[in-house]
């Protein structure tokens, strides 16, 4: 420690090295692990430019051949269309239903709603693959309970996943069964943390229930809604387990989305190089959609904060 008075050296105003590097030091282990997982991402980009296959020991660089071939193939556009359809329908249904259930639960305060607040998290906690299997059993035409139920209404042998026309409906329904609770939980938490005072002043002003919902509840709920949308949409865009468990993409190629197509090309047909453009396109879609929603969410949060005060 220097005791010479008044000699102001720059060192005196800098934290010790040990203290300065501490943040980096303690982030490092987590970063190393995540970077370790990042390597495949970079490799994926490189390999998509090669003709790599599990069958051959060597591979060569073929530039954009894979890409041009895939982007001009019917499989790709079909897979993209399936991906978008699936993501759109499942997210839409889950958001709408999730909000409705949350509002119902929020408006009631009896033992039934209290029980449901807990019980409705079960579907969310079960492995999607397990949920798919259970639904498969339920929809099964010989032991399935759903068939027996539909028979009451005179509907026989509803094809569910077996027919191209109803396969999408079936997977979306299962996704909805698993994930509606997610939206419900987030919205319910959002509803319960709404500040009381704006509603009280609205009451004095005598606004209608619908007016209050549109002008107060919805804007203040928006941040939570965007978070729910973000998580649901991102996971629906890349859904794999439910479709794989139910039909492996069938019947035919009805449910072959980008994830499944990529998986099939890579593992079943063992053409790694060709399988990657599918999934890289999906990555790009996911990345920009996520960025967009996060931006929207931040704006909504600022707006909601403005309403509260």
Partner 1 sequence: MNKGSKRLLTITQNGLLFIYAIFALFPLIWMVLLSIKSDTQMYTTTFNFTPTLSNYTEVLLKTDYFKYLLDSLIVAGGAVIISVIAGVPAAYALARYDFKKKEDIAFQILSFKFAPEILVVLPLFMIYQTLGLYDSYFGLIWVYQLISMPLLIWVVRGYFEDISVEIEHAAQVDGYSWYQIFFKMLLPLIKPGLVSAALLAFIFAWNTFTFPLLLAGSKIQPITVAITKFLGTDTAHYGQLAVAATVSALPAIIFALCIQKHLVRGLSFGAVKG
Partner 2 sequence: MSRITLENIHKTFGKVKALDGVSIDVKDKEFFVLFGPAGAGKTTILNCIAGIAMPEEGVVKFDGEIINLVETAKRNVAMVFENYALYPQMTVYDNMASPLRSDLYRQNEDVIKERVYAAAKMMKMENLLERLPSQLSNGQKQRVAMGRALVRTPNVFLMDEPLAHLDAKLRNAMRTELKEMQANFGTTSIYVTHDFMEAMSLGDRIAIVNQGKIVQIGTPDDIYYLACNEFVAQLMGDPEINILSGLLRKNGDNYSFLSNGSEFVLPADAALMNKLAAYDGKSVDIGIRPQHVMYSFSKDAGYRDYQVYSYESIGNKSVIEAYPAGHSGRGDTHTHVRMIAPNGLTIKIDQLIYIDFKLDHTMFFDGSSKEFIGCYNEAGIRALSAGKEEA
Q: How far is the CB of 136 from partner 1 (least distance, A)?
A: 7
Q: How far is the CB of 3 from partner 2 (least distance, A)?
A: 6
User: Buried b vs exposed e over 183-207: b needs ≥16 C-beta within 10 Å?
Assistant: bbbbbbebbeebeeebeeebeeeeb
Q: Are 195 and 306 within 8 A, CB to CB?
A: no
**CB of 3 or CB of 110, closer to partner 2:** 3
Q: How far is the CB of 41 from partner 1 (least distance, A)?
A: 7
Question: CB under 5 to 8 A by kind: which of partner 2, partner 1, none does 126 bind?
Answer: partner 1
Q: How far is the CB of 172 from partner 2 (least distance, A)?
A: 46
Going by C-alpha positions, the residue among 65, 123, 136, 63 that lies closest to residue 94 is: 123
DSSP state letter for 215: I
Q: How far is the CB of 306 from partner 2 (least distance, A)?
A: 23
Q: How far is the CB of 5 from partner 1 (least distance, A)?
A: 26
The residues of the shown chain that bind partner 2, judged by CB under 8 A, are 1-3, 5-6, 8, 11-16, 19
Cα distance between residue 278 and residue 79, in whole Å: 8
**CB of 15 or CB of 63, closer to partner 2:** 15
Question: CB under 5 to 8 A by kind: which of partner 1, partner 2, none does 130 bind?
Answer: partner 1
**CB of 20 or CB of 291, closer to partner 2:** 20
Cα distance between residue 103 and residue 207, in whole Å: 19
**CB of 18 or CB of 196, closer to partner 2:** 18
DSSP symbols for 293-308: HHHHHHHHHHHHHHHH
**CB of 9 or CB of 309, closer to partner 1:** 309
User: Buried b vs exposed e over 68-89: b needs ≥16 C-beta within 10 Å?
Assistant: eebeeeeebebbbebbeebbeb
**CB of 1 or CB of 37, closer to partner 2:** 1
Question: CB under 5 to 8 A by kind: which of partner 1, partner 2, none does 12 bind?
Answer: partner 2
At 228, give phi and psi (nearest 5°).
-60, -45
């Amino acid at each position: 420690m220097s005791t010479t008075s008044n000699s102001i050296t720059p060192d005196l105003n800098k934290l010790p090295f040990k203290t300065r590097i501490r943040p980096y030091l303690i982030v490092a282990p987590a970063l190393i692990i995540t970077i370790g997982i990042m390597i495949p991402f970079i490799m994926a980009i490189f390999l998509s430019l090669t003709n790599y296959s599990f069958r051959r020991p060597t591979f060569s660089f073929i530039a954009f051949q894979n890409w041009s071939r895939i982007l001009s193939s019917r499989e790709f556009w079909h897979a993209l269309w399936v991906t978008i359809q699936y993501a759109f329908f499942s997210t839409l249904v889950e958001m709408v239903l999730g909000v409705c259930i949350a509002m119902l639960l929020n408006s009631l305060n009896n033992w039934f709603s209290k029980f449901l607040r807990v019980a409705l998290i079960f579907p969310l906690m079960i492995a999607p693959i397990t949920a798919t299997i259970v639904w498969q059993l339920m929809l099964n035409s010989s032991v399935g309970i759903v068939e027996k139920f539909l028979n009451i209404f005179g509907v026989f042998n509803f094809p569910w996943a077996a027919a191209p026309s109803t396969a999408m409906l079936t997977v979306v329904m299962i996704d909805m069964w698993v994930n509606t609770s997610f939206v419900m939980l987030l919205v319910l938490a959002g509803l319960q943390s709404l500040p009381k005072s704006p509603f009280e002043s609205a009451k004095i002003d005598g606004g209608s229930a619908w007016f209050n919902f549109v002008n107060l509840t919805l804007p203040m709920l928006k941040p939570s809604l965007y978070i729910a949308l973000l998580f649901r949409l991102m996971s629906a865009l890349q859904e794999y387990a439910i479709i794989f468990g139910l039909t492996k993409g069938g019947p035919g190629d009805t449910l072959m989305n980008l994830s499944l197509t990529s998986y099939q090309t890579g593992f079943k047909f063992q053409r790694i190089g060709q399988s990657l453009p599918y999934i890289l396109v999906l990555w790009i879609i996911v990345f920009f959609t996520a960025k967009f929603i996060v931006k929207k969410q931040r704006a909504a949060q600022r707006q909601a904060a403005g309403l509260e005060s």
